[in-house]
């Protein structure tokens, strides 16, 4: 009797596991969370205002060495693909405007800067390690996320997942 109960329990568990595996298969794209962001120059961005654009969110800090190392090619990609519909928002996480302003005087950026207090994005994407890159496609879905530095080629491939190919894709694998 105990063996029968054990066997039925094991079979029920196996069946439940099989059902869970079916539902855990490939998911549809996840929509980007509703957000608002204001750049240091006063430009406002929301889910509605980015429709039809590919958006690269870069979460960074002034003390992050990897962020500093990658800033030049992040800005280069942002500038290079702007006319193809890329919007680059560099979100500084957890630092004062004074600290960021002083840093940017020494290390200028060629992109739109957003302070953490001017957006709800840092909390939504659990920005706790840096840099973090999130790409939102033209339809408002998350095309990909990268936590940590990966080099220029990796970032170009991530943006490519949103359908925005870089002209230098084949040349940028060295980073």
Model confidence pLDDT, tens digit, residues 118-141:
888 888 888 888 999 999 999 999
Region class of 107: left (phi > 0), else alpha (psi between -120 and 50), else beta: beta
pLDDT of residue 15: 43
Pairwise CA distance, residues 133 & 147, whole Å: 6
pLDDT of residue 5: 61
pLDDT of residue 10: 47
pLDDT of residue 26: 42
Q: Which residues contact 161 (CB under 8 A, 6 or more apart)?
A: 135, 137, 143, 144
- Residue ranges of the alpha helices (H) in the chain? 2-23, 47-50, 65-80, 97-106, 121-124, 152-160
Q: Using one digit for the tens of pLDDT, what is the confidence trace for 80-120? A: 999 999 999 999 999 999 999 999 999 999 999 999 888 88
CB 111 within 8 A of CB 74: yes
């Amino acid at each position: 009797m105990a063996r029968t109960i054990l066997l039925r329990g094991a079979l029920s568990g196996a069946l439940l596991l099989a059902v869970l595996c079916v539902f855990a298969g490939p998911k549809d794209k996840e929509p980007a969370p509703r957000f608002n962001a204001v750049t240091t120059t006063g430009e406002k961005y929301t889910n509605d205002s980015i429709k039809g654009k590919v958006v690269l969110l870069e979460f960074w800090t002034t003390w992050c060495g990897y962020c500093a190392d990658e800033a030049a090619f992040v800005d280069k990609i942002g500038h290079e693909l702007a006319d193809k519909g890329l919007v680059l928002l560099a979100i500084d996480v957890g630092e004062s405007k004074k600290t960021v302003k002083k840093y940017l005087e020494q290390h200028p950026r060629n992109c739109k800067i957003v302070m953490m207090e001017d957006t709800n994005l840092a909390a939504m994407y659990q920005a706790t390690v840096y840099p973090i890159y999130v790409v939102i496609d033209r339809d408002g879905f998350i095309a990909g996320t990268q936590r940590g530095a990966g080099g220029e080629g990796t970032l170009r491939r991530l943006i490519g997942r949103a359908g925005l190919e870089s002209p230098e894709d084949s040349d940028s694998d060295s980073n």
